[in-house]
């Protein structure tokens, strides 16, 4: 664990440091901009990386997925790509806070230009927790960090999937969390860009409710066969997580 104190990391106005419950790692967040949610944590538990793998997280925000995957996997190194400079800056300071500069690199850049930034077939694993919403009505400030994180303002689902296909080595794996209402779009685009769906898990807030998240793994150039895993239930009663959720969070 890093010896850096909070003052050495230099928190900016309205920022706070949150405990990630893994390896004593912490993360810098600004509640007024955007804080990571359960979807990012679930993706970090669903995604897999082998020893020696090079991992890229598209739209990394404040770096939550690379930091958690560093704690949970044997990946050689992890890269986070983020278009918003302030979020990328927070991610870099969180990497420094945890002493992970030799394992995690944060790049400021556009997902649509990822192939030109990193080169084709340069990663073993690509992850993404992209914006879910296609509808832009009601957005009062399209440049607001929360709007950019939630709506396809700066990149589309096709941008994420097409770039992931180009960035992955043959046989490499793509992991994404999204919303079930986009499943048809997701499967069509994955097939179009030669990413074969291999594994899917639906996430339900309660056992008797409809799913509100879906976790998907696809393989570049893989054969046609997908496994649907048993569902993940978040709450066994209001305010009480199921044991599987506690395990993923590391409580």
CA dihedral 125, 38, 181, 152 (to 10 degrees): -70
Domains of the chain: 6-249 (3.40.50.150)
Which pLDDT band holds residue 148 (cuts at 50, 70, 90)? Answer: very low
pLDDT tens string 4-19: 555 456 799 899 999 9
The token pair that represents 127 in the structure block: 């992850």
Which pLDDT band holds residue 32 (cuts at 50, 70, 90)? Answer: confident
Distance in angstroms (rounded) separating the CA atoms of residues 23 and 26: 9
pLDDT at residue 40 greater than cutoff 90: yes
User: In whole numbers, what is the pLDDT of the chain averaged over residues?
Assistant: 89
pLDDT at residue 209 greater than cutoff 80: yes
pLDDT tens string 149-167: 554 455 789 999 999 999 9
pLDDT tens string 64-109: 999 999 999 999 999 999 999 999 999 999 999 999 999 999 999 9
What pLDDT shows up at residue 132? 63
What pLDDT shows up at residue 151? 44
What pLDDT shows up at residue 137? 47
pTM exceeds cut of 0.85? yes
Closest CA to 217 of 71, 75, 65, 46: 46
């Amino acid at each position: 664990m890093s010896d850096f104190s909070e003052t050495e990391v230099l928190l900016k106005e309205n920022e706070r440091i949150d405990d990630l419950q893994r390896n004593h790692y912490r993360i810098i967040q600004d509640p007024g901009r955007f804080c990571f949610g359960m979807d990012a944590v679930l993706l970090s538990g669903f995604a897999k990386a082998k020893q020696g793998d090079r991992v890229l997280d598209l739209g990394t925000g404040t770096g939550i997925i690379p930091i958690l995957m560093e704690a949970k996997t044997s990946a050689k190194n992890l890269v986070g790509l983020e278009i918003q400079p302030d979020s990328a800056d927070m991610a870099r300071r969180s990497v420094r806070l945890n002493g992970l500069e030799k394992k995690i690199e944060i790049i400021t850049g556009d997902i649509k230009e990822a192939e030109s930034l990193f080169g084709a077939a340069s990663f073993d694993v690509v992850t993404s927790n992209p914006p879910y919403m296609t509808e832009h009505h009601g957005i009062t400030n399209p440049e607001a960090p929360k709007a950019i994180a939630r709506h396809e303002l700066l990149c589309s689902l096709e941008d994420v999937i097409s770039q992931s296909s180009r960035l992955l080595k043959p046989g490499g794996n793509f992991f994404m969390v999204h919303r079930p209402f986009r499943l048809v779009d997701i499967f069509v685009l994955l097939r179009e860009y030669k990413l074969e769906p291999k594994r899917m898990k639906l996430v339900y807030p309660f056992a008797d409710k409809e799913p509100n998240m879906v976790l998907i793994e696809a393989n570049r150039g893989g054969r046609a066969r997908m496994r649907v895993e048993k569902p993940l239930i978040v709450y066994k009663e209001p305010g009480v997580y199921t044991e599987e959720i506690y395990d993923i969070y590391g409580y």
